[in-house]
Amino acid sequence: MLGSRQARIEALRGRIAAIEAGTRTPTPVLPFGDPRIDRRLPGGGLPQAGWHEVVGEGLEGESGAATAAFAALLARPRAMKGAVVWVLRRSDLHVPGLVNLGFPVERLILVRARDEAEGLSVLEDALATPGVAVAIGEAEAPDLVAGRRLQLACERAGGFGVVLHRRPYGGPAKGATGSAAFSRWRVGPAPGRAPPDGLGLGPPAWRVALERCRGGRPGAWILEQSEAEHGPHPFRVVSELADHDLVETQPERLRRVG
Amino acid sequence: MAPDPPFALLVSERGTRRLAAVNAAARAQGLSAGQKAADALALVPQLATADHDPDADRRALEALCDWCVRFSPAVAVDGDDGLLLDVTGTDHLWGGEAAMLADLLDRLARWGVPARAAIADTAGAAWALARHGKDRAVVPPGEQSQALSGLPVAALRLDEAAEAQLPRLGLHRVGQLYVLPRAQMAKRFGLAFTQRLDQALGAAGEALAFRRPASPWFERLAFFEPLSAPEDLARVAADVLALICKRLEAEGRGAKRFEVVFHRLDGKAFPVAAGLARPGRDAKRLARLVAPKLDVVDPGFGIDVVTVHAFAVEALAQGQVRLDAELDAAEALAPLVDRLVNRLGEGRVWRPDPVESHVPERAVARAAPLSPPSDARPWDPDRPRPMRLFKQPVLIEVMAKLPDDPPVRFTWRGRHHRLRAAEGPERIGQEWWRGDFEATGPGRIRDYYRVEDEAGGRFWIYRQGLYGDGDAPKWWLHGLFG
């Protein structure tokens, strides 16, 4: 009985997915390589032709360092396959820092936009260009229309987009609006593990919450950068955080995700 | 219409006010340039005067020079009051040299610019005829010695000494000089004298400094009726670009920069530029790049001529359209880069290029996107560098247990950060060859630490200077790790 109920739910999910996808063919996904994350994502990973939001926690919303590092690692497997366009609002991105994370910078093009609208339209243009594998942009709060345009651009050329929420010159945060992004991640720094020899700092770690994901379930983890020799996946899951941890930190947001 | 009142420009010369220029009405009353202002006012009490402004003159002449591009791409400013146009191969557009000259002078006359002009084989002969000969003279090829023979010797652009000396020897006309022995003339008046004569007659070459480099990559379109509708402007820009692209294709070349200039009826010109990351000749793509910039063009009473220049022309092989979808990466990106550069400006789109320097703020250079990578060693992935590097390091207050230890806490933007781990120091000295001792000496040595606070935030801080060496060292925050 239980088994057939499970099967029926699976079949229904499949039909819903088919309706949502319309005539589109399913796109290949970018798995994290750890079932603790991948099982919460539809299809076992993030779709490669889609765009994702990364929101910084606290001061990160202004400085955008942890979010940039997380986005770079998230996009790294895709970035190996083509050109990367990074749309900046402030020219403070230090490229040697990307090299530290193993991000390929040979085909990186940096663009500094004058304002939010220009940045989003450059991002859209880049995502719609064949040959651009990854486009990462910094924006305060893209609205629904801009988000929908980004999604169409991704689907046209198969680009992987990331929007970093950042208030480049400070100021009060705008309330988060509804979004057309495939997923939204909230990222903050987490204390890293000490290296085995006890000297210096270990690999960088982040406290990452998947706040919403189309067809997926929210979750929260502590991730750290996996060492180069540990396979193709850029992250290593240190621990999965329980749901109550999420409720504690972001109660109102969870309601909205519902 | 009443004739203009007499008018003169004044210039102060060693405490004396003299006339620098007079108009036709003043000249008719016996005034001339160089006269003392007091004398002139005594002769013509109603003379209106104004101060001479050589800079404004120069600017006006340069504007006129830019306008003349509609007649020929090679225009040079000559002295304070002349323009030289190389009209080789362009006169057929007007149906002959005389018609072209008439069109040029009529247009100038319509705006009240008094001008004289002549066409000859050499710049020297044209100069002489325009100033001392018959107005609108057109000398047939090879006949300049005949045309010049009746002109005064001043027509030869000589230096002052020679010009004063010649009439004293009874040499008043250029034609008298033809028969004199050259060696003695050169000895007496200097080599410059015979050279000027040769230049006027075409026996010696003369280099002209054209305002824009002479380029064969130039096309123009003239219209019977002036245009002003924005969609017309976009259409004619596409047409003129198609003309030059056709020529580029016929010769197997492509260009990186194109400049479309809209010439207005009243002589104002509006240039609109489009750049490509790789040499190209696709007129449709260029037209799309130019179209959004057309709002700077103010058509006024109408645009009657559109010209286009191609710069940075290079050989470009005829591209074979590949059947497989695998496009050359740079080729695929070129249209995107062109769109971005043309929309945002060149300084806002770049490719980071490594520079071999330990000083972090100097380690990244901006290169043109799609340019080949430089030979510099790439960045070392094992050297910790922050994700965000501040343009200006921020002064922070720190607490350290021992002077040489990394700090245990610091304050930045009013927030305290208690540090739980640190890594370093990495000592980075300034590059001594860049400045004097003060700017690069031991007082400028930085000891960088990578520190982590209790929340996990990672910072790049440094201590500048050494202890026991004058001022106590200060601590700075230079960047944030992800």
What are the tens digits of pLDDT across the range B352-371?
A: 999 988 899 899 999 988 88
Residue B142 has pLDDT above 60, yes or no: yes
Instruction: Report whether pLDDT(B206) > 80.
Output: yes
Which of B288, B328, B336 should one mutate to test binding to chain A, selecting the residue with the greatest count of A CBs within 10 A? B336
CA distance A225 to A203: 6
Per the structure, the complete domain to which residue A142 belongs is given by: 29-257
CATH class held by domain B218-315: alpha beta
User: Hey, is the C-beta of A95 within 8 angstroms of any chain B C-beta?
Assistant: yes
What are the φ/ψ torsions at residue A18 (nearest 5 degrees)? -65, -40
Closest in A83, A94, A205 to B385, CB measured: A94
Residue pair B117/B97 in contact by the 8 Å Cβ criterion: no
Has residue A38 been placed in a domain? yes
What residue type is B299 in one-letter code? P
pLDDT digits (tens, 9 = 90+) for B211-220: 776 677 888 8
List pLDDT tens digits, range A77-134: 888 888 999 999 998 999 999 999 889 998 899 999 998 899 999 999 999 988 899 9
Give chain A's residues under pLDDT 50: 244-254, 258
**pTM higher than 0.90, yes or no?**
no
- Pairs of CB atoms within 8 A across A/B: 154
In angstroms, the CA A194 to CA B420 distance is 10
In a domain, residue A54? The reply is yes
> What DSSP string describes A76-121?
HHHHTTSEEEEEESSS-B-HHHHHHTT---TTEEEEE-SSHHHHHH
The Cα A91–Cα A112 span in angstroms is 7
Cα–Cα distance, B7 to A119 (Å, whole number): 58
A2 within a domain of the structure (yes/no): no
> Which residue is closest to B325 within chain A, CA to CA?
A130
Instruction: Flag whether A45 is in a domain.
Output: yes
Residue B176 has pLDDT above 80, yes or no: yes
pLDDT given at position A250? 47
Instruction: Find the distance separating the first CA and the last CA of chain B, reported in whole Å.
Output: 79
Per-residue pLDDT, A75: 92
CATH code: domain of residue A151:
3.40.50.300
The closest of B93, B143, B135, B102 to B116, measured between CA atoms, is B135
pLDDT 10s digits, B19-46: 888 888 888 888 888 888 888 888 888 8
* Interchain proximity A97–B388, CB inside 8 Å: yes
Query: Which chain A residue shows the shortest CA-CA distance from B451?
Result: A201
**Helices of type H across B202-267:** 230-250
Give a yes or no: residue A199 inside a domain: yes
* pLDDT over 90, % of chain B: 14
For residue B470, is pLDDT > 80?
no
Averaged pLDDT for residues B402-414: 86
Would an 8 Å CB–CB cutoff place A110 in contact with chain B?
Answer: yes
Contact A223, A205 (CB under 8 A): yes
- In angstroms, the CA B193 to CA B175 distance is 15
Alpha-carbon Rg for chain A, nearest whole angstrom, is 18
B376 compared with B213, residue with greater pLDDT: B376
Distance CA B172, CA B174 (A): 7
Q: Which residues of B touch A199 (CB under 8 A)?
A: 423
Question: Which tokens hold the place of B105?
Answer: 């002078």
Average of per-residue pLDDT values in chain B: 85
Which chain B residue has its CA at the smallest distance from A127's CA? B336
Structure confidence by residue, pLDDT tens digits, B240-288: 999 999 988 888 888 888 999 998 888 788 889 888 888 888 888 888 8
Establish whether the linkage from the previous residue to B425 is cis, with ω within 30° of 0: yes
What are the chain A neighbours of B329 within 8 Å (beta carbons)?
Answer: 82-83, 107, 131
Residue B467 predicted with pLDDT over 80: no
Tell me which residues of chain A, numbers 152 to 211, contact chain B at a CB-CB cutoff of 8 Å: 188-192, 194, 199-201, 204-207
Q: Which amino acid is at B292?
A: P
Nearest to A83 among B333, B383, B423 (CB): B333
Distance in angstroms (rounded) separating the CA atoms of residues B238 and B4: 45
Distance CA A85, CA B50 (A): 59
| Each residue's pLDDT tens digit, B112-130 | 888 889 999 888 889 998 8
> Is residue A17 domain-resident?
no
Residue A247's pLDDT is: 45
User: Which parts of B394-449 fold into alpha helices (H)?
Assistant: 437-440
Which of B349, B380, B383 lies nearest to residue A109, judging by beta carbons?
A: B349
Q: How many domains does chain A have?
A: 1
Where residue B325 falls among pLDDT bands split at 50, 70, 90? very low
Contacts of A217 (CB under 8 A, 6+ apart): A40, A210
Residues of A within 8 A of B333 (CB-CB) are 83, 109, 129, 131-132
Residues of chain B with CATH 3.30.1490.100: 218-315
Q: What are phi and psi of A167, to 5 degrees?
A: -100, 100
CA B22 vs CA A124, B56, B110, B204, B223: distances in Å = 63, 17, 20, 35, 37
Distance from CA of B4 to the nearest CA of A (A): 53
Distance from CA of A12 to the nearest CA of B (A): 37
Is the pLDDT at B461 greater than 90? The verdict is yes
Closest partner residue to B452 (CB to CB) among A93, A105, A201 is A201
Q: Is residue A97 part of a domain?
A: yes
Chain A residue with Cα closest to B480: A65
Distances (CA, A) of A244 to A40, A220, A251, A254, B117: 17, 10, 10, 11, 90
Question: Which pLDDT score, from 0 to 100, does residue A248 have?
Answer: 45
Contact B351 A70 (CB under 8 A): no
A residues 17..76 contacting B (CB < 8 A): 59, 63-70, 72
- End-to-end C-alpha distance for chain A, whole angstroms: 29
Which whole number is the average pLDDT over B293-322? 81
Distances, alpha carbon B52 to alpha carbons B9, B10, B47, B59, B468, in Å: 5, 5, 15, 13, 65
A125 with B421: Cβ contact below 8 A: no
Q: Is residue A18 part of a domain?
A: no
